[in-house]
Structure 1
């Protein structure tokens, strides 16, 4: 069975902010003024996450400006109050890795009077020129994108992004031959971050090391150009993913998505050539569950401590062709006298490492006669490993670095 992946993720969402390598949280900035546009130093600005009731506050400076950093993606109630003015409240949505500006106006009145703002201009970021797009979980879940339910397959929903898909892109944890080109950059020069942690395979062209399940992802922001230095390792695009956390309410979901060959339509090309439908039997299943940590009689984590558990597995029963270079019957015995060299212009030379003299570019070794390694020099462990490979299936004279085995299987 190929493409099978079982991923476990357990997240304890504490009220204490974690200092991570690259910032995935957002910041809220703005200015507080009165109705005449006069600045108001000393006003208290408070934000409260409506799912966890976690709150933070600050006081405006001498210029009436405020800044609230390290806000996790989510919906927040923002309130501002000051003696001699009515309390003002509004609701905003913070997205992953986004700095937004919200200017607030206070009206003269008693502080126990509240003005609720229900309609305002769209929030914008005036602190940077970052270009990109935020993809929410709802958008990613319902977008008409082919292939598996893989969050990395959704990057092409961002304008200016193209994608290179390999065979493994059909699985829920696509890694091999998977890269994007954002804003005209070279493929593979990308940075991928999950919850502020670098998630890019080193020296592998911007490939994701781990792909969280689609139901575990809260939001993803695809930065195409002009992003800040926190993504300085990338000369292409940057993908900033944040995962969901537990809330004050218990929530969960169970899913099973399956693609049956019997229900699939054949391709146009196969119909033209009178070929049968490709054998695709793909199944992706899992679940997510989270909420406050509660131990009866001992601890109630509501408003304080939360958990989230995610499980996902996929089974891909397609018949896929494999090609490779395997040792021949003679090569298993240390006999390379019938094996051609890399250019196919003669017998490959096998050198005796015990005869090495000199070092570096001046090193010299004596070849084994007829490229045959003596039986007493062969390692029993190496022989056992060599016999674990299948025999070649392609006829012809064996050659170094040339495929000689074809196999088809799930």
Structure 2
């Protein structure tokens, strides 16, 4: 009895210590970060002669939310601001004895490092040299092959079914699916990216995996086209953090709130009352009832195929008060 009790007590102590050790390891373990749409903005601050300016203050301000991030250049004039969300930014740089540098409308794409160099001219800090970013710079930070479909393109595109997933077909190397096809449900798009199978591609919503592994890669939801800011299609040479697939990546980025309140109410209608009859239906002519004859103009085969589709909803966004 005594030996059995001692053995039970020993097992209980071991179990207790293993449990405590597991909790300690879980608490102090370094976090594992998943893929993210955020990126970094970096660059060099130099004077007009090309010499590095150390200790310059660099401010990166979101033009949508007015959120500011600050950095200071090192002895080589280099600065880096990490965890920057996709969008447009105003970047300023200043140092005593130089005019203030300001660049507006700087575009930061999701998941792709951006760079912006600043050249400070001698003068007072109260003077400002403004630069408006209007051209697309050659990407030197990554070898990723892909395309970014931006908000204006999404707004102007006629999507049958209003599913932004099919904008992936705008990227060379993506085939399959149907950009003009009527599709608004759960689907992987049926894309072949550079020859890959549809099941080998990955769909993400704001960096979160959006496919079901037990349903042949079908999406777990349908993105609202009015809430979509950008659609990024990566076809080759993307970073290791975008793993999980042997094919391509379709990354849908939703809009963030801004410093002002905005709202949209909409209804999109498709109805056969707006359509003309098809040539195929007109030529059917059952029972010798030609559609050219006024007596049969209301016959079933002389009218468009019945179709009703109404999609309505709303979007509201703004600052958290």
Equivalent runs, 1:397-408 vs 2, <5 Å: none
Equivalent runs, 1:175-324 vs 2, <5 Å: 175-176=186-187, 178-267=189-278, 269-270=280-281, 277-293=304-320, 301=321
Shift of residue 273, structure 1, vs aligned partner: 5.2
User: After TM superposition, where is structure 1 displaced by more than 6 Å over at least 4 residues in a row?
Assistant: none
Equivalent runs, 1:158-169 vs 2, <5 Å: 158-164=171-177
Whole-Å Cα distance in 1 between the matches of residues 130 and 69 of structure 2?
A: 19
Shift of residue 204, structure 1, vs aligned partner: 3.4
Whole-Å Cα distance in 2 between the matches of residues 53 and 244 of structure 1?
A: 15
Q: Where is the helix percentage greater, Structure 1 or Structure 2?
A: 2
What is the aligned partner in structure 1 of residue 99 from structure 2?
A: 86
Unpaired stretches in structure 1, ≥5 consecutive residues: 1-18, 294-300, 302-410
1:137 paired with 2:151, answer: yes
Change (3 A) 1:269 1:30: farther
SS of the equivalent of 1:62 reads: coil
Change (3 A) 1:37 1:271: farther
Shift of residue 116, structure 1, vs aligned partner: 0.9
Change (3 A) 1:116 1:20: same
Change (3 A) 1:271 1:176: farther
Contact 1:137-1:214 at 8 Å conserved across structures? no
Contact 1:100-1:123 at 8 Å conserved across structures? no
1:108 paired with 2:125, answer: no
Q: CA RMSD in A?
A: 2.3
Change (3 A) 1:177 1:120: closer
Unpaired stretches in structure 2, ≥5 consecutive residues: 1-31, 286-300
Change (3 A) 1:135 1:115: same
Contact 1:29-1:101 at 8 Å conserved across structures? yes
What is the aligned partner in structure 1 of residue 295 from structure 2?
A: none
What is the aligned partner in structure 2 of residue 307 from structure 1?
A: none
Shift of residue 160, structure 1, vs aligned partner: 2.1
Whole-Å Cα distance in 1 between the matches of residues 279 and 174 of structure 2?
A: 27
Change (3 A) 1:266 1:101: farther
Shift of residue 56, structure 1, vs aligned partner: 0.5
Contact 2:188-2:219 at 8 Å conserved across structures? no
Shift of residue 54, structure 1, vs aligned partner: 0.5
Whole-Å Cα distance in 1 between the matches of residues 279 and 151 of structure 2?
A: 33
Measured against aligned partners, the alpha-carbon deviations of 1:316-350 in whole angstroms (never above 9, x if no partner) come to: xxxxxxxxxxxxxxxxxxxxxxxxxxxxxxxxxxx
Whole-Å Cα distance in 2 between the matches of residues 60 and 272 of structure 1?
A: 75
Shift of residue 136, structure 1, vs aligned partner: 1.7
Shift of residue 277, structure 1, vs aligned partner: 3.6
Contact 2:112-2:142 at 8 Å conserved across structures? no
Shift of residue 242, structure 1, vs aligned partner: 1.5
Change (3 A) 1:204 1:149: same
Shift of residue 266, structure 1, vs aligned partner: 4.2
Alignment match of 1:68 (pick from 81, 98, 102): 81
Change (3 A) 1:20 1:270: farther
Shift of residue 258, structure 1, vs aligned partner: 1.0
SS of the equivalent of 1:75 reads: strand
Whole-Å Cα distance in 2 between the matches of residues 120 and 244 of structure 1?
A: 22
Whole-Å Cα distance in 2 between the matches of residues 238 and 160 of structure 1?
A: 12
Shift of residue 78, structure 1, vs aligned partner: 0.3
Does 224-233 or 133-142 show the bigger shift?
A: 133-142
Shift of residue 270, structure 1, vs aligned partner: 4.6
What is the aligned partner in structure 2 of residue 31 from structure 1?
A: 44
More contact order relative to length (CA 8 Å, sep ≥ 6)? 1
What is the aligned partner in structure 1 of residue 182 from structure 2?
A: 170
Shift of residue 212, structure 1, vs aligned partner: 1.9
Change (3 A) 1:106 1:257: same
Equivalent runs, 1:49-60 vs 2, <5 Å: 49-60=62-73
